[in-house]
Chains A and B, each alone.
Chain A
Amino acid sequence: MAAIDFDVELRRAGAHATGGWRRVLFLAQRHVLGAAGLVIMALFVLTAIFADVIARYDPLTIDSTRALARPSLAHWMGTDSFGRDVFSRIIHGARISLAVGIGSTALGGTIGVIVGLTSGYLSGWVDLVFQRVSDVLQALPLLVLALVMTAALGPSLPNVIIAIAIPLIPTVARVIRANTLALRELPFIEAAKSIGMSEVRIALRHVLPNTLAPLIVLATAQLGSTILTEASLSFLGLGIPEPYPSWGRMLSESAAEYVRTAPWLVIFPGIAISLAVFGANLFGDALRDILDPRQRG
């Protein structure tokens, strides 16, 4: 039983961190992994925003004279077979991969919320139909669905986003629906009813905002998996088309051929994907811990 210096412990435990930045800092200390995830994500987002500033070369310019250069001071991550700077491509790739990740998560999330809210709130046959549709979508392998969707729509950034977003809808909708069902039973919803509020207004004003926390947690977790799905699609040749440097594209089958002669072509994009997904997952985990009231403590 170690003696405890209360003042030190109190400070360390953030007893005085009650609001604002102090509290954020305190939470960051308590959830080191989550903070790391947040930092990673923030770095990637900043990278995406300032890609033009950070990248030292144009990611698309081809230069036969410096093809397949090893990593060096001039080209930190080497160059690809077209002589394009891998580092610059990864920097710009952040834009595309994050656009896919965030775009499809947002799209799938939004539709999922609408569907989940409607079916949870209205129940009845709307709910029944939704449940069956989501059963159907969930029984189809996600990648197969995305494959067929991109094949149907053609490979382009918006289409890839759509293709990845669609399988996401039932996942989100299920979570939101479950939450809505639980919320519907809460007294504050009854209280709203008892003052004569309309159902739609209750759904929008009382139910929806209270599904945000689980939604955010789900979204961060899904963000990672959408980035991975894009990578898999690109690997199979159906993701974002050349010459845009999405990370998945950079890792695609043809790049994989260089795995031994120019491993940097395979290693670095792989690390970029893994790191971004890792960051999103770390952050999502911590967020779940913080937002889940039962996990407090």
Chain B
Amino acid sequence: GEPKQGGVLRMYHRDSPANASILEGATYSVNVPFMGVFNNLVIYDQHIAQNSPDTLRPELAESWSWGNDNKKLTFKLRQGVKWHDGKPFTSADVKCTFDLLMGKSQQKLRQNPRKAWYSEVNEITTSGDFEVSFDLKRPQPSLLAMLASGYTPIYPCHVSPADMRTHPIGTGPFKFVEFKANESIKLTRNPDYWKKGLPHLDGIEYTIITNRSTAILAFVAGKFDMTFPTHITIPLLKDIKSQAPNATCVVEPTNVSTNIIVNSASAPFDNIDIRRAVALALDRKAFVDILFEGQADIGGTMLPPPQGIWGMPKDKLETITGYGPNVNANREEARKLMQKAGYGPDKHLAVKVSTRNIAEYRDPAVILIDQLKSIYIDGELDVVETANWFPKVARKDYMLGLNLTGNSVDDPDQSFYENYSCGSERNYTNYCNKEIEKLFDVQSQQIDVAKRKELVWDIDKKLQEDVARPIIFHARAGSCWQPYVKGVTIMSNSSYNGFRYEDLWLDK
């Protein structure tokens, strides 16, 4: 029916984000509650589950155009938009935002996790208050995808990054009210929102509940209108469905891949045979069965189709070593490789499997250890506290690691450069292949989507065969809401981009 106006949406939040600044954040714990405070230049259509170049919509930009051999991207900006504190929004704000992201401004972000996204941007120029252009070093069609991410809100010039962490000011449908660490986050309707008639909600209240069982109990007991998006594991989904049969639940990929990082810098994994053997030993289906009751995806670096746009088709995937359906044959081969490296039934290889002390990391690591037993590897779990995980990885103080890689947009540039280019901070394994690196650039500049896909598949296959960072699976997760909550769309190939919530409404 017609959307109804009013009502406060009650949700729980899975944990307490460090602060409210999306630009400094790198977890959807920040995006979910604060995306509604802001607008982007462009955004993925909030009602289409699959983000793709076709679903890009203008937001603060009214339109965009490519020029200068696809090396210049110009946005025409919306007029009459006001920041929550009443100041007018202009092109200067856009320039400020990206200068901040590129590290060019006076003010600095405390941390800037996505600086690399703008490595091909020369400079931002404004022309008048309502036009702004990105000058690129080379064509990069993916730039738009990154600008459309929930991670790329436009910040005001007149508020310091520090204030944005504690009291964010945006142009979006909801105004920030308060954030009590470990307790709650409150947003209220922006009555002056430039989209007339929106948002429908009077506000959103997040109660922070870190204990998942408590959170779900509370949802079932009707304390919340909606769960935290993609927070429900598959086994728990059944529970919710049986306890609250009226609730609407969907399961979608999160575009987070679970993968193995291998320390190839030192023994024993400096031996490619052993690395291959590990890749061959994986029974990906078993992971998916145990952790997701079959409901997760097997693929390469890119999220597999149909939800993923760039993932390899199944037939191509299965040509990759280790992805074949016959696990036993694979393991047989793996054992041969191990024996070649000098291990066997009498001489096991003792390995520490490091991972973070979070269930999403720990559980697959436990399975991994179990599976490695089949190829003469005795794994021991080494759980590492959050604070020590990346320093440890950076020090190369591990043998095998179990890692999760979240992809904020379903886009090869984001994924390849971040994780596999030589010298990238998040290329934990220091995998470096100059040839592939060249291929990254080739695909990045390819405007034709179909052709680009072919390139991407080849790269992806090669990455897997190099055992750069063996991908185990792409997770899926459930989200649920009460039947009277209308207008929710859970993105199917990203978990960072779909929380504007401006046209959610409550049918009460």
Contact = CB atoms under 8 A, between A and B. Distances in A.
Interface of A: 60-62, 64-65, 67-68, 81-83, 151, 154-155, 237-238, 241-243, 253-254, 256-262
B238 interface: yes
Contacts of A82: 290, 363, 366-367, 370
Interface in B314-328: none
The range of chain B's interface size is 20 to 34
B370 A261 contact: no
A155 B213 contact: no
Contact of A257 (B233, B243, B367, B383): B233
Contact of A68 (B235, B365, B383, B385): B235
A62 B367 contact: yes
Contacts of B359: 253-254
A18 to B, nearest CB: 54
A64 B290 contact: yes
Nearest to A261: B239
Q: Which residue of B291, B357, B370 has the most chain A CB atoms within 10 A of its CB atom?
A: B370
A260 B216 CA distance: 10
B211 interface: yes
A151 B385 contact: yes
A259 B385 CA distance: 26
Given A83-B290, A242-B383, A60 B370 contact: yes
6 contacts: A62-B366, A241-B357, A242-B383, A254-B363, A256-B213, A257-B212
A263 to B, nearest CB: 11
The prevalent SS among residues of A at the interface is: loop
A238 B362 CA distance: 13
B290 A67 contact: yes
Contacts of A154: 384-385
B236 A257 contact: yes
Interface of B: 211-213, 216, 233, 235-236, 238-239, 243, 286, 289-291, 293, 357, 359, 362-363, 365-367, 369-371, 381-385
Contact of A155 (B286, B357, B365): B357
Contacts of B289: 64-65, 67
A68 B383 CA distance: 24
Contacts of B382: 241
Given A62-B290, A64-B286, A242-B383, A81 B235 contact: yes
A61 B370 contact: yes
Given A256-B213, A258-B235, 4 more contacts: A242-B366, A243-B366, A257-B213, A257-B236
A172 to B, nearest CB: 30
A190 B303 CA distance: 82
B270 to A, nearest CB: 26
A253 B383 contact: no
B370 A62 contact: yes
A242 B381 contact: yes
Given A67-B290, A243-B381, A261-B238, A253 B211 contact: yes
Contacts of A258: 213, 235-236
Nearest to B370: A62
B290 A155 contact: no
Contacts of B371: 62
A84 to B, nearest CB: 9
Contact of B383 (A60, A64, A155): A155
B212 A253 contact: yes
Complex A-B, nearest 9 residue pairs according to Cβ-Cβ distance, in ascending order: A64-B289, A254-B359, A62-B370, A261-B239, A64-B290, A256-B213, A257-B213, A241-B383, A243-B366
A241 B362 CA distance: 9
B415 to A, nearest CB: 28
A275 to B, nearest CB: 23
A261 B238 CA distance: 8
Contacts of A61: 370
Nearest to B379: A243
B239 A237 contact: no
A163 to B, nearest CB: 14
Nearest to A83: B290
Contacts of B383: 155, 241-242
